[in-house]
Amino acid sequence: MGKRRGFDTIAVHGGQFPDQAVGARAVPIYQSTAFVFKNADHAARLFAQEESGPIYTRIGNPTNSVLEDRLAQLEGAEAGLVTSSGMAAILLALLNCTRAGDSIIAGSQLYGGTYNLLSKTLPRYGVNCAFVDASDLNGWAEAIRNVPRAKAVFIETPGNPNLNWVDLPAVASLARQAGLVTIVDNTLNTPYLFRPLDHGADVVVHSATKFLGGHGTAIAGAIAGPIDFIIQARADLHRDLGTTLAPFNAFLILLGLETLSLRIERHCQNALAVARFLESHPAVAWVRYPGLGSHPDRELALRLSPKGQGAIVTFGVKGGFEAAKRVQDNVRLFSLLANIGDAKSLIVHPASTTHEQLNSEQCRSAGVTGDLIRLSVGIETLDDLLDDLDRSLKRAVI
* Burial of 182 (C-beta count, 10 Å sphere; 0-12/13-18/19+): buried
Interval 291-303: pLDDT, tens: 999 999 999 999 9
CB atoms under 10 Å from CB of 84, counted, come to 18
pLDDT surpasses 70 at 2 = no
Whether residue 128 is predicted with pLDDT greater than 70 in this model: the reply is: yes
pLDDT value at position 366? 64
Mean pLDDT across the stretch 211-226?
Answer: 98
pLDDT band for position 133 (50/70/90)? very high
Q: Is 90 exceeded by the pLDDT of residue 281?
A: yes
**pLDDT value at residue 24:** 86
Those residues with Cβ within 8 angstroms of residue 69's Cβ, 6 or more apart along the chain or in another chain = 14, 15, 16, 80
Segment holding 83, helix H or strand E:
strand 79-83
Radius of gyration of the chain (CA): 21
Is the predicted pLDDT of residue 365 greater than 70, yes or no? no
**In the beta sheet, which residues pair with residue 10?**
none
Candidates 133, 155, 153, 134; CA nearest to 145 is: 153
Tell me the per-residue pLDDT of 219-247, one tens digit each, with 9 for 90 and over. 999 999 999 999 999 999 999 999 999 99
pLDDT value at 361 more than 80: no
**How far, in Å, CA of 371 to CA of 327, rounded?**
10
Given this model, what pLDDT does residue 358 score? 63
Q: Is the pLDDT of residue 363 over 70?
A: no
Residue 21 pLDDT = 78
Amino acid 356: pLDDT: 63
Q: Is the pLDDT of residue 284 over 80?
A: yes
Confidence band of 353 (pLDDT split at 50, 70, 90): confident
Identify whether 191 is preceded by a cis peptide bond (ω within 30 of 0).
Answer: no
pTM, two decimal places:
0.94
pLDDT tops 60 at residue 8? yes
Rounded Cα distance between 386 and 339, Å, is 20
CA distances from 35 to 55, 62, 69 (A): 5, 10, 20
DSSP secondary structure letter of residue 216 = S
Lowest mean pLDDT among 16-25, 172-181, 350-359: 350-359
**pLDDT value at 360 more than 80:** no
Percent of the chain with pLDDT over 70: 96
Query: What average pLDDT does this structure show over 8-27?
Result: 88
The pLDDT of residue 327 is 94
* 135-180 confidence digits (pLDDT tens): 999 999 999 999 999 999 999 989 988 899 999 999 999 999 999 9
Best CA proximity match to 223, nearest among 236, 234, 210: 234
CB-CB contact of 157 with 166 (8 Å): yes
Say what the pLDDT of residue 1 is. Answer: 47
DSSP 8-state class, residue 246: P
Q: How far is CA 133 from the centre of its chain?
A: 20
CB–CB of 89/229 below 8 Å?
no
Q: How far apart are CA 55 and CA 61, in angstroms?
A: 8
Average per-residue pLDDT for the chain:
94
